[in-house]
Amino acid sequence: MKKELDLNTIINTLQRVLPSIQKSIALHEPLFTGNEWDYVKKCLDSGWVSSAGKYVSLFEKQIAEYTGIKHVIAVVNGTAALHTCLQLAGVRAGDEVLMPALTFVATANAVIYCGAVPHFADSEEKTLGLDPLKLGNYLKDITELRTVGCFNRKSGRRLKAVVPMHTFGHPVDMDPLLDVCRRFGLALVEDAAESLGSLYKGKHTGSWGRLSVLSFNGNKVITTGGGGAVLTNDSSLAVLARHLTTQAKLPHPWAFHHDMVGYNYRMPNINAALGCAQLERLPEFIRQKRALALRYQEAFAGIEGVRIFKEADFAHSNYWLNILLLDEGYSGKREKLLELTNRQGIMTRPPWTLMHKLIMYQDCPRMDLACAESLEKRLINLPSSAFLAE
């Protein structure tokens, strides 16, 4: 006979891990204890607070050095970065773009901005991200390769790109996914919005796609208040990304000449100033977040019915958000556990609603989503701010 899930033990364990001096513990908060005030004041004193200024180029340079990716274009948010990347990857109206059903809605929304159609794929429990083996077998069944690309035999639309998302900071298994992209002629755009500081086989996430994105929203590992970035090793794409995100304005001392439809997507200097200060603390933030993840893992070891999600063998995760994963038989207890923890002042959260369950995406094409649907029922995000490890 199956044992009852001991919710009190779970809550008591969380309380032992987390600081007792805080009455309410948020899911993820920024930490400003470095040069943030100084750099933002210098930005204000200079008068350069908009999309031109030294901190924008400095921030881009520092992100490039940290990730090892040649070109970085700072933009207003991660969604704008993803929209730009999809455009540069050749996604056009009527195309289909493969992505996990278990993702934040921005991944799907950016596809719609291009006039394209999201096509939802399943995840694997090992990484929480796209399942390359299952995706490859699915594409083998539903696609037709033509001289002009890969086509969905059922819808008649071209399949143009794959957007893996590194869920809660945990890297997708990229090597077999790259093989799938090569076999079916698909562009790879990495949604690395949550994975700054995460490595796959020793290289930073975002290094495998032709283009990739980062997010610096207020709840990310580092923040610029609001912000994102386009990353690429392709110099010509980098030039075009910078041009496209600056209203496609041609350089001129005073005249306004534009040669294509562009976007007002460039990051303001004042946000970049905040980001430069945050980047100085990033190695420490990653160390603290990994220490917190280890504390969770040790505290919950041996508690029946639940486990703390751990990085795969090939990964070095930033553990952006820690995850309590209920065993299959206990998924019915998730809502009660969310209610009890939040009542205790411990902010916990379920994952995003699966994309195909949202009203605007319920008619989009999708494969069997058994793993994603299971994860959605069993997953709880735990408080993960870097300072909680202190």
Domain at 303, CATH number? 3.90.1150.10
Burial per residue of 10-34, b for 16 or more beta-carbon CB atoms within 10 angstroms, e otherwise:
bbebbeebbeeeeeebebbbbbeee
Residue 360 belongs to a domain: no
Q: Which domain holds residue 45?
A: 36-279
Same domain? 216 vs 343:
no
Check if the beta carbon of residue 229 is closer than 8 Å to that of residue 236: no
In sequence order, the β-bridge partners of residue 104 are none
CATH code for the domain of 143: 3.40.640.10
pTM, two decimals, is 0.96
Same domain? 189 vs 307:
no
Residue whose structure tokens are 């994105």: 213
Neighbours of 83 (CB within 10 A): 27
Check if the beta carbon of residue 82 is closer than 8 Å to that of residue 106: yes
Structure tokens at 203: 């290289």
DSSP states of 79-130 as a string? HHHHHHHHHHTT--TT-EEEEESSS-HHHHHHHHHTT-EEEEE-B-TTTSSB
pLDDT digit string (tens) for the chain, length 390 residues? 567 889 999 999 999 999 876 779 999 999 999 999 999 999 999 988 887 889 999 999 999 999 999 999 999 999 999 999 999 999 999 999 999 999 999 999 999 999 999 999 999 999 999 999 999 999 999 999 999 999 999 999 999 999 999 999 999 999 999 999 999 999 999 999 999 999 999 999 999 999 999 999 999 999 999 999 999 999 999 999 999 999 999 999 899 999 999 999 999 999 999 999 999 999 999 999 999 999 999 999 989 999 999 999 999 999 999 999 999 999 999 999 999 999 999 999 999 999 999 999 999 999 999 999 999 999 999 999 999 988
Burial of 285 (0-12, 13-18, 19+ CB in 10 A): buried
The DSSP 8-state label assigned to residue 27 in this structure reads S
Query: HSE on the CB side for 101, CA within 13 Å?
Result: 28
Check if the beta carbon of residue 123 is closer than 8 Å to that of residue 371: yes
Same domain? 223 vs 343:
no
Same domain? 65 vs 202:
yes
Check if the beta carbon of residue 157 is closer than 8 Å to that of residue 151: yes
Residue 267 one-letter amino acid: M
Domain boundary among 258, 279, 300: 279
Check if the beta carbon of residue 279 is closer than 8 Å to that of residue 59: yes
Residue 2 belongs to a domain: no
